[in-house]
Amino acid sequence: MSSSHERSIEVDLLRGIALIVIAVDHISVSVLSHAMLHNYAYCDAAEVFVFLGGYASAAGYTSISARQGEAVARRRFLKRAWEIYRAYLLTAALMLGCGAIVASLPIASPLVAESGWTVFSHRPAQGLLDIVTLRQQPFLSAVLPMYLLFALGVALAIPFARRMPVAAFALSLGAWLAAPWLAAMLPGISAWPFNPFAWQFLFVLGLLCRLYPVPHQMQVSNVGRALTGVAFAVALAFTFVKVCIDTHPSPGYMKQNLASVRVVSFLALAWLCAQMVRAGSLRLLAQRLPAVVTVGREGLVCFVGGTVVSIVADTGVRLAHAESNWFGRLAGDLLAVSALLLLAQGAAACKRAAGAGARTRTPPLARPIRVLSSARASREPRDSRER
């Protein structure tokens, strides 16, 4: 991927695809979810999203620091952490609200238990305190506290990785290997669905890939071609095992602590994807799917909105008693994807409107200062001739 400060359209495409897949995967009656990554590999859209989060964070931090300095970049990511925390609280409130609504409907839905509404309704004060302090994370909001910690750590991780990339990798690898023990030392974190000590490894890998991209010459060398062959063989072998042998879902702790098989599965697919980027095929696909690229660019909004979209689609299919109707379930999937695409377009339009409004608001003294400066510039040649 490009090493320039320009935003990568390939990264935005992959982030958009990951967000759409996350929304579809959380529709329990989905048809399209059977074609998603978790059925053919030992990883899913979560690995993709976290890795690309590290990549995009490194790109954003280095771009801001190059233009405006390290201090501005640090403040920007502190602000980003606050934005993620607010998004987490909003998502938690939406999940509890959806759980309360679904509980009042004449349907049997696993969402009522998963949302945490039943427990929250019996102890609302304690439940609210646990949510605010991140001890309890309602359904689908659990990934955001992990991202909050990552955003807070970016300002330390990137300068360290720039100076000592090998040490940064080794430290991250060690934390991943010790993740279950590290989480056990902090009881509040040990119950998180995503152990941040483990998942930081993929985030740091994405960060390092942005700071130190694999050279084109290496990718097309004999070593690069051999790695491509190995990655293809690993991906194919995992697909065979998932489809033909290990058809049961993986235990939850494997995802919580980012099991090694998930890392290997993801890295094989990531290398193959990098070859698609090098060949230009991913850029061509991104140019043909601008709506999906927009979803990737409006990641936080689409993640929060996607949680509600998933629940509404799932509940709608159940209310229509179409759980056993293939076409009805597919219609729910397509409506959910369409709603997410529309949400991204709306968020992008609002951002453009806000940017245009900011540009038109000129400070009162800015225009006279510019006029005075231009007048002085126009007088300088004449004054010098007079002298």
Task: Copy the structure tokens of residue 282.
Answer: 């991913």
DSSP 141: -
User: Residue 213 in contact with residue 3, Cβ under 8 Å?
Assistant: yes
* Whole-number pLDDT of residue 296: 95
* Whole-number pLDDT of residue 355: 80
Break the chain down into helix, strand, coil percent, rounded to 5.
80, 0, 20
Distance from C-alpha of 99 to C-alpha of 121, rounded to nearest angstrom: 10
* Whole-number pLDDT of residue 350: 94
The string of pLDDT tens digits covering residues 38-88 is: 999 999 999 999 999 999 999 999 999 999 999 999 999 999 999 999 999
* Whole-number pLDDT of residue 52: 95
Q: What is the DSSP string of 304-327?
A: HHHHHHHHHHHHHHHHTT-TT-HH
The verdict on pTM exceeding 0.85 is yes
Collect the ranges in the chain with pLDDT lower than 50.
1-4, 365-387
Q: What is the DSSP string of 7-41?
A: PPHHHHHHHHHHHHHHHHHT-TT-SGGGGSGGGTS
User: Residue 309 in contact with residue 344, Cβ under 8 Å?
Assistant: no
* Whole-number pLDDT of residue 35: 92
What are the Cα distances from residue 320, in Å, to 24, 114, 326? 18, 21, 13
Find the radius of gyration of the CA atoms of the chain.
24
Domain ranges of the chain: 9-386
Q: What is the DSSP string of 267-285?
A: HHHHHHHHHHHHHTHHHHH
